[in-house]
Amino acid sequence: MSRSAHPAGPRHADVLPEGHYTAPPTDLNVLDEKVWARTVGRNDEGVVTVGGLEVTRLAEEFGTPAYFLDEADFRARCRAWADAFGKDADVFYAGKAFLSRAVVRWLKEEGLNLDVCSGGELTTALDAGMPAERIAFHGNNKSQEEIDRAVEAGVGRIVVDSFQEIVRVAHTAQRLGTRQRVQIRVTVGVEAHTHEFIATAHEDQKFGIPLAGGQAAEAVRRALRLDGIELIGIHSHIGSQIFDTSGFEVAAHRVVRLLAEIRDEHGIELPEIDLGGGLGIAYTSDDDPREPHDIAKALNEIVTRECEAARLRTPRISVEPGRAIVGPTAFTLYEVGTIKPLEGLRTYVSVDGGMSDNIRTALYDAEYSVALVSRTSTAGPMLARVVGKHCESGDIVVKDAFLPADLAPGDLIAVPATGAYCRSMASNYNHALRPPVVAVKDGEARVIVRRETEEDLLRLDVG
Ligand code: LLP
């Protein structure tokens, strides 16, 4: 991604270090709607609101740090994906991005299906009433117990990820007197990275069965021989935070080629393909994600074209967006604690959370934006690094961002686009208490995942 070093900031241009940031926005009070949930705005007093509720009030009621999730936005995004793909395709929300019982109910109401990848996610889905046939079960090392539960529950599909698992699922289904619908996850030889895709040493990873060397074709042969399995299709997931569909194009081409080989060898046309998730969202103003309609159109065209070329009936397509649905719908609200200006470098702004509620910056060098939300400011921009309270110098929430130079302890700042892979990857490092998730809609806020308490910590500590 192209970023300018040495932006001409109006106040600090002489002291700005080399860095990975764009020039400060002309007005730090303006919220870029690209990165904020749909109902977020500033009221006449300059306080940011979500679902009509002021963040100052929300902080008083629910404390900080906390994730606030815009339910209307979440539902709208579900509908946008469902509408974009239409009735001839299936959208599976990837629960790993963020899953709770409330989320499962919203998905169910909005007509989406659900991808789970562990016994815990399966339990949450079933407990909240997701019909088993609308659940896909994933994972590269499902335990026998997880397979038992998935087959017993009657999940709509198990996406098998290894030769061993094909046999395990088949035997489990036979033992339980049923046939399990199965997709085989293949590695197509495309690896997508943030903002680009590369086609290099992609088979060198733990997921899927490689197309290369005929392994996937052999997996299909074995699956077709086993009575406990109904092989319904091929699955491919190429990566995450992808903005461009060219990686999917290569993947679809290779998956369809496999479908053609299966037809030629076995005389059957598998009815489904799943192209996985991975569609990117805007974390900063520099990101330009594509709309679900655009993506659906592109994927449908690619698959239809490839199938026509291979003289195959077009299979039913499914996709598994996680981040693209939940990511933009939430922000994390923090209170500013200490502020340390380091001359010639940047100002360190410490908040009351950190890598325990957002590990993505430390783990992936992820970029985020941040804004002062409890008030507006007319002060000039200061180059800030928002850091947490953990005992680790890599405990960074936002690496480089501009905040008003009059920022003070007690101000509330918020980091947008934290709906995906933040609460779901949160930890108890330093015995931090994982923050709550509060759903906000039409002037009402309700906790859907409560804040952890010290009692919770001690309950697990049984020594
Ligand atoms: N389907 C499969 C088989 C997946 O493995 C994943 C993500 C998804 C769907 C959903 O991908 P999404 O649309 O959310 O990008 N923790 C990382 C992301 C890991 C994604 C793992 N698999 C992050 O924070 O960026």
Distance from Cα 355 to the centre of ligand 1, integer Å: 19
Cα–ligand 1 centroid distance for 320 (angstroms) = 9
Superfamily of domain 41-70+328-460: Lyase, Ornithine Decarboxylase; Chain A, domain 1 (2.40.37.10)
What is the pLDDT at residue 80? 98
Q: Report CA dihedral (82, 83, 87, 90) to the nearest 10 degrees.
A: -20
User: What pLDDT, on a 0 to 100 scale, did the predictor assign at position 46?
Assistant: 98
Phi and psi at residue 259, to the nearest 5°: -60, -40
371 in contact with ligand 1, CB cutoff 6 A: no
Residues 385/396, Cβ–Cβ less than 8 Å: yes
Give the residue whose CA is nearest to atom 19 of ligand 1.
240
Longest dimension (CA), the chain: 74
Q: Is 237 in the pocket of ligand 1 (CB under 6 A)?
A: yes
Locate 434 and state its tokens: 């994982």
Q: Which atom of ligand 1 is nearest to the CA of 425?
A: 16
Mutation test residue for ligand 1: of 77, 96, 135, 422, the one with most atoms within 8 Å of CB: 96
Pick the residue whose CA is nearest to atom 17 on ligand 1: 421
Cα torsion angle, 269, 261, 190, 180, sign: positive
**Rounded distance from Cα 278 to ligand 1 centre (Å):** 6
pLDDT beneath 50: ranges in the chain: 1-14, 194-201
Residue 97: CB within 6 Å of ligand 1? Answer: yes
Are 180 and 169 a contacting pair, CB within 8 Å?
A: yes
CB 208 near ligand 1, within 6 Å = no
Ligand 1 midpoint to CA 393 (Å): 27
Q: Could you count the other beta carbons within 10 Å of the beta carbon of residue 156? A: 19
Place of tokens 């690209």: 34
Query: Do residues 32 and 289 lie in contact, with contact meaning Cβ atoms separated by under 8 Å?
Result: no
Cα of 353 from ligand 1 centre, angstroms? 24
Q: What pLDDT does 63 receive?
A: 98
**Structure tokens, 327:** 């990511």
Nearest to 322 by CA among 288, 362, 277: 277
Find the 180 Cα to ligand 1 centroid distance in Å.
24
Instruction: List, for residues 173-205, the tens digit of each pLDDT value.
Output: 999 999 999 999 999 988 666 444 434 336 778
Task: Report whether residue 322 contacts ligand 1, using a CB cutoff of 6 Å.
Answer: yes
Question: Hey, where are the domains in the chain?
Answer: 41-70+328-460, 138-321
In the prediction, which pLDDT does 190 show? 82
Kindly report, residue by residue over 311-350, the tens digit of the pLDDT: 999 999 999 999 999 999 999 999 999 999 999 999 999 9
Residue 47: alpha-carbon gap to chain centroid: 28
Q: Copy the structure tokens of residue 179.
A: 């046939």
Q: Which of 240, 325, 357 maximizes ligand 1 atoms within 8 Å of its Cβ, making it the mutation to test the pocket? A: 240
Residue of 78, 117, 307, 391 marked catalytic = 391
Half-sphere exposure of 304 (CA within 13 A, CB side): 8
Report how far ligand 1's centroid is from the alpha carbon of 247 (Å): 15
Assess whether 117 carries a catalytic annotation. no
Cβ atoms 445, 52 nearer than 8 A: no
**Which residue(s) pair with 185 in the sheet?**
235
Task: List Cα–Cα distances, 22 to 26, 360, 365, in angstroms.
Answer: 12, 20, 16
The two tokens of residue 397 are: 């929430």
Q: Check pocket membership of 185 for ligand 1, CB cut-off 6 A.
A: no
- How far apart CA 81 and CA 69 sit, in angstroms, is 18
Q: Is 289 in the pocket of ligand 1 (CB under 6 A)?
A: no
Say if ligand 1 is within 6 A of residue 149 CB: no
DSSP 388: -
Ligand 1 contact via 419 beta carbon (within 6 Å):
no
On whether the CB atoms of residues 101 and 348 are closer than 8 A, the answer is no
Query: 95, 53, 42: which is closest to 446 by C-alpha?
Result: 53
The answer for 343, left when phi > 0, alpha when psi is -120 to 50, beta otherwise, is: beta
Residue closest by Cα to atom 23 of ligand 1: 421
Residue nearest to atom 8 of ligand 1 (CA): 277
Domain 138-321 annotated CATH 3.20.20.10: yes
So what's the pLDDT on residue 5?
38
Provide DSSP, 141-183.
S--HHHHHHHHHHT-SEEEE-SHHHHHHHHHHHHHTT--EEEE
Q: Is the four-CA dihedral 365, 366, 372, 378 of positive or negative sign?
A: positive
Length of the chain: 463
Nearest to 433 by CA among 342, 352, 379: 352
Per the CB < 8 A criterion, the answer to whether 382 and 11 are in contact is yes
Whole-structure pTM over 0.75, yes or no?
yes
The CB of 70 under 6 Å from ligand 1? The reply is no
Beta strand 53-54 with 66-70: parallel, antiparallel or unpaired?
A: unpaired
Residue of the CA atom closest to atom 12 of ligand 1:
278
328 lines ligand 1 (CB under 6 A): no
